[in-house]
Structure 1
């Protein structure tokens, strides 16, 4: 298996994170609309039980991932946001 090394100072590094967001009953549609309005955030799937599949993209040179995930957790109607996937790479 090949591993890549990411230079934390490299402005070409990007991160993509996958989250499962649990919402309060009846709030998934409004939460999805709110999250889709956040920069770098996309809701891909919502189910009737209140679970959302969400990606967060941090572009090269940005340092916004933690703040964006915190903002998702603080959104009205969100019970929790769990990080289930993270990928870091460089734009070559």
Structure 2
């Protein structure tokens, strides 16, 4: 699972429209808006058929978005442990 949190900036008059339109992007959920400051806080989670990175790009390209800043990213996919060669000297 991959998840990211974004801080999105827009003109205050466009915040309500973005609050309605951004969740149409796969994996996007709006958690908080502040119309006065023109900010939205949202999360993006990966899912079947799309990646977090694709959804972040879509948020950046959404109409009325001035900026989208990555605040947090988490990836819980485990890596395969490295095998240690018994012939290696420590």
Question: Larger Cα Rg: Structure 1 or Structure 2?
Answer: 2
Correspondence list, 1:11-90, <5 A: 14-48=1-35, 49-59=37-47, 64-90=51-77
> TM-score, with normalisation over the residues of structure 2?
0.77
Higher normalized helix content (fraction of residues): 2
Higher normalized strand content (fraction of residues): 1
Structure 1 position 71, deviation (Å)? 0.7
Deviations 1:27-77 (A, max 9, x none): 001011111122210000000211000000013x65511111111011111
SS of the equivalent of 1:26 reads helix
> TM-score, with normalisation over the residues of structure 1?
0.75
Checking the alignment, whether the CA contact within 8 Å between 2:27 and 2:52 is kept in structure 1 is: no
Moved over 6 A (4+): none
Between Structure 1 and Structure 2, how many residues are aligned? Answer: 77
